[in-house]
């Protein structure tokens, strides 16, 4: 048996344990911001204090190195400069003490450490690729289900810097979902198109363009009754919430489909 002697007893060498630790260190940190804050390393969740979470999330959202004064002033708006800087130092210490290379703070600027994988960045890249690609290329992209599966950015956070980025990502995702729904409809992949359309409607129930692409999928499948039901659902919701009617463009789409039927 391979091992070492400890007071006359042979004990197994901790090679496997050391290998596991090395593999864990080599695995990337994965930061989740969509649907809530979560940090994982080697498959295990990493707990961070609230102040460190806010710092890491802020740096991840900004996605570039920032001056320390700017970070402190943005995260601790109501605190005097000295207290804000002290709070930043504490948050940096709390992010370091977990033994994970989360923040690069070696110079006058600080940023997220290289190699940290952020789901927000991956989601935004995929959404932009969808919007910039011709329809025939969109349907060939890998991981399309992630476009409609991603959640809201830090839904329980109400800082101004979160709210602004949340709306930016929401709009990007909505436009990508609509483009994806249209491309999948043209490709005859109606089931996936409906998934994308429903995700867009669920994200913004009062958005007419989201309902329109979903209605178009139903019509492409020949399901006029489904299209009419979706149109009526949207019309009732729009009148109840805003006192408005669907646009003439959407109404004409439905009327033409019913007439041809």
* Residue 21: predicted pLDDT: 47
- Which of 166, 157, 156 shows the shortest CA–CA distance to 204? 166
Greatest Cα pair distance in the chain? 93
* Domain range annotation of the chain: 24-112, 121-260
* Residue 145: predicted pLDDT: 79
**Which pTM value belongs to this model?**
0.85
Q: Quick check: do 24-112 and 121-260 share a fold?
A: no
CA distances from 164 to 60, 153, 178, 215 (A): 14, 10, 22, 30
pLDDT in tens, 38-48: 999 988 999 99
* Residue 123: predicted pLDDT: 94
- 121-260 to CATH, choices 1.25.40.10, 3.40.50.1100, 3.30.70.260, 1.20.210.10: 1.25.40.10
* Residue 98: predicted pLDDT: 56
Topology adopted by domain 24-112: Arc Repressor Mutant, subunit A (1.10.10)
Instruction: Identify the segments of the chain with pLDDT beneath 70.
Output: 1-26, 97-100
Distance CA 219, CA 212 (A): 10
* Residue 23: predicted pLDDT: 42
CB–CB of 95/55 below 8 Å?
Answer: yes
CA distances from 128 to 87, 102, 149, 173, 199 (A): 36, 26, 16, 9, 17
């Amino acid at each position: 048996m391979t091992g070492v002697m400890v007071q006359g007893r042979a004990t197994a060498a901790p090679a496997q344990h050391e290998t596991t630790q090395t593999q864990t260190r080599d695995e990337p940190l994965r930061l989740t911001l969509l649907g809530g804050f979560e940090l994982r390393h080697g498959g295990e969740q990493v707990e961070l204090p609230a102040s460190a979470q806010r710092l890491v999330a802020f740096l991840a959202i900004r996605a570039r190195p920032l001056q320390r004064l700017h970070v402190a002033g943005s995260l601790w708006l109501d605190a005097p400069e000295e207290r804000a800087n002290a709070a930043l130092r504490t948050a940096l210490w709390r992010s370091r003490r977990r033994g994970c290379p989360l923040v690069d703070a070696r110079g006058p600027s600080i940023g997220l450490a290289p190699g940290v994988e952020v789901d927000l960045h991956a989601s935004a890249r995929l959404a932009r690729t969808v919007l910039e690609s011709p329809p025939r290329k969109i349907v060939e992209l890998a991981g399309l289900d992630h476009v409609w599966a991603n959640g809201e950015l830090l839904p329980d956070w109400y800082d101004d810097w979160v709210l602004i980025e949340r709306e930016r990502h929401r709009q990007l995702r909505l436009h990508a979902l609509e483009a994806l729904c249209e491309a999948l409809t043209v490709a005859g992949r109606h089931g996936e198109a409906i998934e994308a359309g429903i995700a867009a409607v669920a994200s913004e129930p009062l958005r007419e363009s989201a309902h329109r692409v979903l209605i178009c999928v139903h019509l492409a499948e020949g399901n006029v009754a489904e299209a009419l039901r979706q149109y009526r659902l949207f019309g009732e919701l729009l009148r109840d919430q805003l006192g408005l009617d669907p646009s003439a463009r959407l109404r004409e789409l439905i009327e033409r489909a019913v007439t041809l039927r």
